Chains A and B, each alone.
Chain A
Amino acid sequence: MYLTPSSNIIIKPFMEQIIELFRYQFFYNAFFSALLASIACGFIGTYIVARRIVFISGGITHSSFGGIGISYYLGFNPVLGAAVFSILSALGIEYISKKTEVREDSAIGILWSMGMALGIIFIFLTPGYSPNLMTYLFGSILTVNTTDLLLMALNTLIIVVFFLVFYRIILYISFDEEFARAHKVPVMLFNNILLIMVALTIVLSIRVVGIILVISFLTLPQTTANIFTKDFKKMIGFSVLFGCLGSFSGLIISYYANIPSGASIIFSFAVIFIVAKVLKELTLSIHLKHQ
């Protein structure tokens, strides 16, 4: 493809406009929160998808809303309440399904809806100013503040370091837990640490895409990555890449089209997935024809 002088005229002001946007603190914050969420979700999402705990993660996400509601009622920081609730439900699901008669998917379903119910009740009971429910359900990346950004940076840093140091242990435990236990690897400890990381990543990504959509951040880039690679390590890399690509384009689309950022980010993920799938199928069929 050639860049004609006329297309240059269109592209150049567009790039300048984007650079201009970074002068605004809110856009700067939004951009970096998208970047940090893409990295954290790239690592944690690959673990979730590989271990097939997507439904558990959905339960953790929705139950955190209970924590948000109670925090509002008591006047705490909602991120703190959400973190406590999501960690408790993450460990609770594991405990209930292993130690009691309740089956795992039932336990998830119960915590899922209980958290949502608690959240709505307490937000309703909070006197005076009632927070915008939509913000939590669908995210609002343009309201990310510096504290959020610092927390996200810390969480992302911890995850990346943990995965770099314990990559093999994480891979082996996820792949064949029983074999790891037979080799005296502290499986329970690692599973719990990873579940807490899942919970915290979810809570910190709620600002970016919202409770209802956060699960796509943890599964869509990963499923797209899985089209191109069947290797855990490479899947993490590709997921981060597709996460960045989708969230940056979603962010820009949301700014220009004036639509909610969470939805436009997830929509971008879906478009990337479909394009990737079609490309893969096409190259496969061309490859077959040439044989």
Chain B
Amino acid sequence: MEQLLELKNVSAGYDKNIVLSDVNMKVFDRDFIGVIGPNGGGKTTLVKVILGLLKPLKGEITYCVNTRNFIGYLPQINKIDSKFPITVYDVILSGLMSQNQLITSFNKLDKQKADELLEQTGITHLKKKPIGELSGGQMQRVFLCRALISSPRLLILDEPSSFVDNKFEHELYGLLHDLNKQMAIIIISHDVGTITSYVKTIACVNRELHYHQSNIITEEQLADYNCPIQIITHGHVPHTVLEHHH
């Protein structure tokens, strides 16, 4: 598999507070990595380093793809100002902002792509709505469309299952499963229970990064890395059962 990017001995943080220390990680095409870890453990910081939003204090990050913008990004939606005067359609098209189309207006192909994504995520009827009128699940779909419109090689999702109902969560994982046939995916979650059954590999971040080459976590690993567990699920959903806790 083609390598997309590599982090070598990366340390990162804010104002000399080191949040991530000595991280080594390689991301390959068609990877499906679940990043888990406690709050404040550095999950979002890791994403910021990969996106180039935060310069590492030490170490380096290498991108192996030449395309200017090969990463699609879905931020935590509680960071978004939902009262901002912008329509769903404009939000989705903003995913193309690096492709030199800032001055000229969007061409037919871009609009066609946006319409396809709206259709695919089942929100065509919301196209002209201001984002302030959307529910949490609808909002996540809009931001997923924005991340996908640039046809990224790597899709990064930061806590996509917060603020949404169970039904959407399972639809989302179904969609991601299909998308994974075309691109690599990194998904951040504090919810170990659901994520492990969908992803191919698990990375646990708690200041340091521990990358498991499988999606099975043992209790010893959890204890060693101080990973949190929050598993509350009912009914017939795919799940991973861990050993009993003492």
A residues in contact (CB < 8 Å) with B: 46, 50, 52, 165-166, 168-169, 171-172, 174-176, 178-185, 226, 229-232, 235
Contact yes or no, B102 A179, CB < 8 A: no
For B67-101 the 0/1 string (1 means CB < 8 A from A) is 01101010100011100111100110010011001
Contact yes or no, B53 A174, CB < 8 A: no
Shortest Cβ distance from B103 into A: residue? A165
Instruction: Tell me if B52 is interfacial: C-beta within 8 Å of chain A.
Output: yes
Contact yes or no, B86 A231, CB < 8 A: yes
What are 10 A-B residue pairs whose CB atoms fall within 8 Å in the complex? A52-B81, A168-B94, A169-B102, A171-B94, A175-B86, A179-B73, A182-B53, A184-B69, A230-B130, A232-B90
Q: Distance in Å from the Cβ of A168 to the closest Cβ of chain B?
A: 5
Give every chain A residue within 8 A of B146 (Cβ-Cβ). 179
Instruction: Tell me if B132 is interfacial: C-beta within 8 Å of chain A.
Output: yes
Give every chain B residue within 8 A of A178 (Cβ-Cβ). 53, 75, 79
Instruction: Tell me if B51 is interfacial: C-beta within 8 Å of chain A.
Output: yes
Contact yes or no, A182 B51, CB < 8 A: yes
Known: A179-B94, A184-B52, A184-B68. 18 other contacts (CB 8 A): A50-B84, A166-B102, A169-B102, A171-B86, A171-B90, A172-B97, A175-B84, A176-B80, A178-B53, A179-B75, A180-B97, A183-B69, A185-B97, A226-B85, A229-B85, A230-B85, A232-B85, A232-B90
Contact of A230 among B87, B91, B102 (CB under 8 A): B87
Shortest Cβ distance from B80 into A: residue? A176
Known: A52-B81, A166-B102, A235-B85. Contact between A175 and B91, CB under 8 A? yes
Give every chain B residue within 8 A of A229 (Cβ-Cβ). 85
Known: A176-B80, A179-B75, A182-B53. Contact between A232 and B86, CB under 8 A? yes
Q: Distance in Å from the Cβ of B104 to the closest Cβ of chain A?
A: 9
Contact yes or no, B132 A230, CB < 8 A: yes
Known: A166-B102, A184-B68, A231-B130. Contact between A174 and B84, CB under 8 A? yes
Whole-angstrom distance between the alpha carbons of A244 and B198 in the complex?
A: 57
Contact yes or no, B87 A231, CB < 8 A: yes
Shortest Cβ distance from A49 into B: residue? B85
Known: A168-B102, A182-B53, A231-B87. Contact between A176 and B94, CB under 8 A? yes
Whole-angstrom distance between the alpha carbons of A133 and B87 in the complex?
A: 45
B residues in contact (CB < 8 Å) with A: 51-53, 68-69, 71, 73, 75, 79-81, 84-87, 90-91, 94, 97-98, 101-103, 130, 132-133, 146
Main secondary structure of the interface of B (DSSP, over half): loop
Give every chain A residue within 8 A of B71 (Cβ-Cβ). 182
Contact yes or no, B94 A172, CB < 8 A: yes
Give every chain A residue within 8 A of B85 (Cβ-Cβ). 46, 50, 226, 229-232, 235
Shortest Cβ distance from B146 into A: residue? A179
Give every chain A residue within 8 A of B90 (Cβ-Cβ). 171, 231-232
Q: Distance in Å from the Cβ of B61 to the closest Cβ of chain A?
A: 14
Shortest Cβ distance from B50 into A: residue? A182
Q: Distance in Å from the Cβ of A198 to the closest Cβ of chain B?
A: 18
Contact yes or no, B97 A166, CB < 8 A: no
Q: Distance in Å from the Cβ of A249 to the closest Cβ of chain B?
A: 26
Q: Distance in Å from the Cβ of B36 to the closest Cβ of chain A?
A: 22
Give every chain B residue within 8 A of A184 (Cβ-Cβ). 52, 68-69, 98
Known: A52-B81, A172-B97. Contact between A182 and B86, CB under 8 A? no
Closest 4 CB pairs of A and B: A230-B130, A183-B98, A182-B51, A172-B94
Q: Distance in Å from the Cβ of A243 to the closest Cβ of chain B?
A: 17
Give every chain B residue within 8 A of A52 (Cβ-Cβ). 81
Q: Distance in Å from the Cβ of A102 to the closest Cβ of chain B?
A: 14
